Amino acid sequence: MPRREPAEPKLNNGGRRKRDAPATQKRLLDAAEREFAERGYAGARLHTIATAASVQTTLIHHYFNDKQGLYRAVIERAVSPMQVDSWNLLREHQHFEALARGFVSMLMRFYAEHQHLLAIVRHELIAGSTVVRDILQERITPVATAAIAWMKELQHQGALLADIDPTEIVIMTVSLAAYPFVEGPLLNVVVPGAVPNGAAALQRREDAVVRTLMRAFLAPTQLKPASR
Amino acid sequence: MPRREPAEPKLNNGGRRKRDAPATQKRLLDAAEREFAERGYAGARLHTIATAASVQTTLIHHYFNDKQGLYRAVIERAVSPMQVDSWNLLREHQHFEALARGFVSMLMRFYAEHQHLLAIVRHELIAGSTVVRDILQERITPVATAAIAWMKELQHQGALLADIDPTEIVIMTVSLAAYPFVEGPLLNVVVPGAVPNGAAALQRREDAVVRTLMRAFLAPTQLKPASR
DNA sequence: AACGTTATTGACTAAATTTTTAGTTAAGCG
DNA sequence: CGCTTAACTAAAAATTTAGTCAATAACGTT
């Protein structure tokens, strides 16, 4: 027994859309990623996400079961580009400058392209999520460990200053590369135009960071006179 | 005509609490600040806040009218410690090292003590809030502008390297000082113990940052041999 | 061309959450 | 004291929002 009468068959959707499941899922995931990043899990609204993807809320349930399912899907997809294969390339470089440049470049690119992901990660870590924690430890920790070991070795070789903890060197490197992305909105409010974001500006900032790293950490014997 | 019968007069509150409006408000604001910082505006639950402050949800409405009112109150209170009087002290310093140390120390202290505030600020800026934007421009911009001007002057005096934009110098300084706080949870997951947070660790990090800044930005003529 | 599958929709429900309304008690003041 | 005000509680209305159900139409297959 039907619980209600079949609403008079509208001679269908005014806005008929071609059927395309993968495309629809992608649109949903995109919208969800933005929403979750901006408002956090609890603050995100399914209706908002569905609207942004221009589908009905129900489709979310159809594809991802429930809100958590969507969230997990977003995280998994967002986290997958956390491939650090790039690191292997770096390994081949021999001297600090090339190493630093490669590392900084990789970091900046990652931060520039995955701000949503990182916002979510921050949220998750504050909320104590073990999922994200595990993924990070699996994918990023090896890179970080290798980077630290590499710094230590460079110190032993006398290429880098030895009076500073190698971990600190890495942290400071990451700080210089990443902070402007993380706090970009704030910086731009406080100092208008402080963090421009064209490709050219990015390159310029990369150069500045690398030069600063060289000056800060290269052993004095290796210091070249600052070019003017 | 009473809409319902007066519940039998409990011979009052089992959990009797002295009436103390200001104290209650403070408890509410504290709880709200934490909640808003952790979950964002939409994700925050009034009931959670009220419970944390051990009062009835309704009291929030009594004092702050509605959720937005509470939010505004939190922001206004949280933002008020953004006093940068400290800066005037710095002005008195003469050379870069003292200046840098003072600036870095101020920054680190601020970040350490106001992480909730900063989380909220990030949220608000992403959401495009003009309230926070205005407050920042009013309170922080002058400091930043002064800092940049000061760097420029030091460059003219030949104390600092001139081949780098003074704004960049300031941004990098802030990066080094602040990033570990912003991304502390992530860093600690990736490299366990990377960012300890005792007073001693803080001091150590401050020293490291200042030393790095000196090496990176002091003009070569002023370089002292790195101490071992 | 009939047929089953599934992407997609629109109306609806159940639960959670904010807001309102009514009532109770403590405290200050004449 | 007695009276007014304001702090606070309890219940319930109003609103949001996640999740369900049945219907419909596009698509691939036979």
Residue A133 lies in a domain: yes
How many structural domains comprise chain A?
Answer: 2
B137 chain-A contacts, CB cut-off 8 A: 189-190
Last residue of a domain, one of B79, B97, B115: B79
Domain identity same for B107 and B212: yes
Dist. CA B183–CA B175, nearest whole Å? 11
Domain identity same for A69 and A108: no
Domain identity same for B137 and B218: yes
Q: Which ranges of chain B would DSSP assign to H, the alpha helix? A: 21-43, 46-52, 57-64, 67-79, 86-92, 96-113, 115-126, 130-139, 141-156, 166-182, 184-190, 199-217
Residue A169 lies in a domain: yes
- Name residue A59's amino acid: L
How far B191 CA lies from chain A's nearest CA (Å)? 6
- Asked if A67 and B66 count as a contact pair (C-beta separation under 8 A), the reply is no
Dist. CA A175–CA A104, nearest whole Å? 10
Last residue of a domain, one of A35, A64, A79: A79
What are the tens digits of pLDDT across the range A186-214?
Answer: 999 999 999 998 899 999 999 999 999 99
What are the tens digits of pLDDT across the range A11-45?
Answer: 333 334 567 888 999 999 999 999 998 888 888 99
A156-160, A221-225, B118-122: which has the minimum mean pLDDT?
A: A221-225
A9-13, B16-20, B72-76, B183-187: which has the minimum mean pLDDT?
A: A9-13
Dist. CA A6–CA A73, nearest whole Å? 34
Dist. CA B60–CA B81, nearest whole Å? 23
According to the model, what pLDDT value does residue A89 have? 57
Domain identity same for B213 and B190: yes
Contact: A182, B180; criterion CB under 8 Å: no
Domain identity same for B110 and B35: no
Give the up-direction half-sphere exposure of residue A61: CA atoms within 13 A in the CB hemisphere.
4
The residue range of the domain holding B185 is 86-222
Of the candidates A34, A15, A208, which has an alpha carbon nearest to the alpha carbon of residue A119? A34
Domain identity same for B116 and B212: yes
Q: Which carries the bigger pLDDT value, residue A28 or residue B23?
A: A28
Q: Provide the CATH number for the domain around residue B147.
A: 1.10.357.10
Concatenate the DSSP letters of all residues of A132-195 into one string: HHHHHHHHTHHHHHHHHHHHHHHHHTTSB-SSS-HHHHHHHHHHHHHHHHHTHHHHHHHSTTSS
- Asked if A32 and A74 count as a contact pair (C-beta separation under 8 A), the reply is yes
Domain identity same for A106 and A195: yes
- Asked if B106 and B90 count as a contact pair (C-beta separation under 8 A), the reply is yes
Residue B50 lies in a domain: yes
- Please list, in sequence order, all residues whose beta carbon lies within 8 angstroms of the beta carbon of residue A190, skipping any fewer than 6 positions away: B136, B137, B140, B141, B144
Q: Which carries the bigger pLDDT value, residue B17 or residue A192?
A: A192
Burial of A103 (0-12, 13-18, 19+ CB in 10 A): buried
Instruction: Describe the crossing of helices A96-113 and A115-126 by its angle, rounded to 10 degrees.
Output: 80
Chain C: nucleotides under 7 Å from a protein CB? 6-12, 17-27
According to the model, what pLDDT value does residue A41 have? 86
- Asked if A182 and B183 count as a contact pair (C-beta separation under 8 A), the reply is yes
Residue B7 lies in a domain: no
Residue A74 lies in a domain: yes
Structure confidence at residue A96 as a pLDDT band (50, 70, 90): confident
Residue B113 lies in a domain: yes
What are the tens digits of pLDDT across the range A142-156?
Answer: 889 988 998 999 999
Domain identity same for B129 and B217: yes
pLDDT at B57 over 80: yes
According to the model, what pLDDT value does residue B14 have? 36
Contact: A140, B195; criterion CB under 8 Å: no
How far B12 CA lies from chain A's nearest CA (Å)? 36
Residue B10 lies in a domain: no
Please tell me which residue of chain A has the smallest CA distance to B207: A164
Last residue of a domain, one of A45, A63, A79: A79
Instruction: Give the distance, in angstroms, between residue A41 CA and nucleotide D5 C1'.
Output: 43
Dist. CA B60–CA B30, nearest whole Å? 13
Q: Which residue has the tokens 């309230």?
A: B131
Domain identity same for A187 and A96: yes
Length of chain A: 228
Domain identity same for A111 and A203: yes
Residue A227 lies in a domain: no
According to the model, what pLDDT value does residue A15 have? 39
Domain identity same for A123 and A42: no
Structure confidence at residue B89 as a pLDDT band (50, 70, 90): low
Domain identity same for B60 and B129: no
DSSP SS3 for B86: helix
- Asked if A116 and A37 count as a contact pair (C-beta separation under 8 A), the reply is yes
Q: Which residue has the tokens 């996400």?
A: A49
According to the model, what pLDDT value does residue B92 have? 67
A2-11, B87-96, B130-139: which has the minimum mean pLDDT?
A: A2-11
According to the model, what pLDDT value does residue A26 have? 94
A84-93, A195-204, B132-141, B173-182: which has the minimum mean pLDDT?
A: A84-93
- Asked if B184 and B115 count as a contact pair (C-beta separation under 8 A), the reply is no
Q: Provide the CATH number for the domain around residue B43.
A: 1.10.10.60
